[in-house]
Amino acid sequence: MSDLVSMTLAEARDAVRAKKISSRELTGAFVAAIEQARPLNAYITETADRALAMADAADKRIAAGTPGALEGLPLAIKDLFCTKGVRTTAASRILGDFVPPYESTVTQNLWDAGAVMLGKTNLDEFAMGSSNETSAFGPVLNPWRAQDSNQNLVPGGSSGGSSAAVAADLCLAATGTDTGGSIRQPAAVTGRVGLKPTYGRCSRFGIVAFASSLDQAGPMTKTVRDAAILLTSMASVDPKDSASVDLAVPDCEKLLDGGIKGLRVGIPKEYRVEGAAAETDALWSKGADWLKAQGAEIVEVSLPHTKYALPTYYIVAPAEASSNLARYDGVRFGHRAKDVRDIIDLYEKSRGEGFGAEVQRRILIGTYVLSAGYYDAYYARAQKLRTLIKRDFDQAYEKCDVLLTPATPSPAFAVGAKTTDPLEMYLQDVFTVTVNLAGLPGITVPAGLTANGLPLGLQLIGKAFDEGVLLRAALALETAADFKHSPAKWWTA
Is residue 63 within the footprint of another protein (CB under 8 A)? no
Bridge-based pairing state of the strands 264-268 and 402-406: parallel
**Residue window 228-267: x/- pattern of binding to another protein, with contact defined by CB under 8 A:** -----------xxxxx------------------------
Nearer to another protein, 95 or 171 (CB): 95
Q: Which residues make Cβ contacts (< 8 Å) with residue 94, sequence separation at least 6?
A: 328, 334, 335, 350, 351, 354, 355
Is residue 331 within the footprint of another protein (CB under 8 A)? yes
Whether the Cβ atoms of residue 190 and residue 412 lie closer than 8 Å to each other: yes
User: Tell me, what DSSP letter sits at residue 376?
Assistant: I
Bridge-based pairing state of the strands 173-178 and 74-78: parallel
Q: H or E element: which one contains 176?
A: strand 173-178
Can you tell me which of 273, 333, 337, 361 binds another protein, judged by CB under 8 A?
Answer: 333
Binding residue count for another protein, defined by CB under 8 A: 43
Can you tell me which of 11, 375, 410, 485 binds another protein, judged by CB under 8 A?
Answer: 375
- Which residue intervals of 37-146 are DSSP H helices? 48-63, 105-112
Whether the Cβ atoms of residue 243 and residue 251 lie closer than 8 Å to each other: no
Can you tell me which of 273, 347, 414, 465 binds another protein, judged by CB under 8 A?
Answer: 347
What is the smallest separation between the CB atom of 428 and another protein, expressed in angstroms?
A: 23
Is residue 367 within the footprint of another protein (CB under 8 A)? yes
Is residue 353 within the footprint of another protein (CB under 8 A)? no
Can you tell me which of 180, 194, 206, 448 binds another protein, judged by CB under 8 A?
Answer: 206
Of the residues 22, 23, 78, 463, only one is catalytic, namely 78
Nearer to another protein, 332 or 338 (CB): 332
Q: Would you say how long the chain is, in residues?
A: 493
Can you tell me which of 1, 326, 377, 488 binds another protein, judged by CB under 8 A?
Answer: 326
Nearer to another protein, 152 or 213 (CB): 213
Which span sits near another protein by CB under 8 A: 12-20, 276-284, 306-314, 327-335? Answer: 327-335
Strand order in the sheet with 43-46: 43-46, 116-121, 74-78, 173-178, 216-221, 193-196, 442-449, 455-461, 402-406, 264-268, 297-301
Interhelix angle for 224-234 vs 9-17, to 10°?
70
Whether the Cβ atoms of residue 139 and residue 185 lie closer than 8 Å to each other: no
Nearer to another protein, 130 or 322 (CB): 322
Bridge-based pairing state of the strands 43-46 and 116-121: antiparallel
Of the residues 163, 182, 203, 244, only one is catalytic, namely 182
Is residue 120 within the footprint of another protein (CB under 8 A)? no
Can you tell me which of 60, 272, 292, 327 binds another protein, judged by CB under 8 A?
Answer: 327
23-188-466 Cα angle (round to 5): 80
What is the smallest separation between the CB atom of 301 and another protein, expressed in angstroms?
A: 29
For the stretch 80-83, contacts whose Cβ atoms lie closer than 8 Å and that sit 24 or more positions apart, written own/partner, are: 80/123, 80/126, 80/127, 80/177, 80/207, 80/208, 80/210, 81/106, 81/107, 81/120, 81/175, 81/177, 81/206, 81/207, 81/208, 81/217, 82/107, 82/206, 82/207, 82/208, 83/107, 83/117, 83/120
Query: For residues 101 and 330, what is the distance between their CA atoms, to the nearest angstrom?
Result: 18
Is residue 178 within the footprint of another protein (CB under 8 A)? no
Of the residues 23, 92, 130, 158, only one is catalytic, namely 158
Is residue 371 within the footprint of another protein (CB under 8 A)? yes
Query: For residues 85 and 119, what is the distance between their CA atoms, to the nearest angstrom?
Result: 12
**Residue window 285-324: x/- pattern of binding to another protein, with contact defined by CB under 8 A:** ----------------------------------xx-xx-
Q: Is 78 a catalytic residue?
A: yes
Is residue 204 within the footprint of another protein (CB under 8 A)? yes
**Chain-centre distance for alpha carbon 157:** 8
Query: For residues 282 and 404, what is the distance between their CA atoms, to the nearest angstrom?
Result: 13
Can you tell me which of 30, 111, 308, 379 binds another protein, judged by CB under 8 A?
Answer: 379
Q: Is 158 a catalytic residue?
A: yes
DSSP 212-250: TTT-EEEEEESSHHHHHHHHHHH----TT-TT----PPP
Is residue 213 within the footprint of another protein (CB under 8 A)? yes
**Residue window 71-100: x/- pattern of binding to another protein, with contact defined by CB under 8 A:** ----------xx-----x-x----x--x-x
Nearer to another protein, 46 or 320 (CB): 320
What is the smallest separation between the CB atom of 78 and another protein, expressed in angstroms?
A: 12
Is residue 205 within the footprint of another protein (CB under 8 A)? yes
Whether the Cβ atoms of residue 4 and residue 31 lie closer than 8 Å to each other: no
Binding site for another protein (CB under 8 A): 81-82, 88, 90, 95, 98, 100-102, 104, 204-209, 211-213, 239-243, 319-320, 322-323, 325-327, 329, 331-333, 343, 347, 367, 370-372, 375, 379
Could you list the active site residues?
Answer: 78, 158, 182
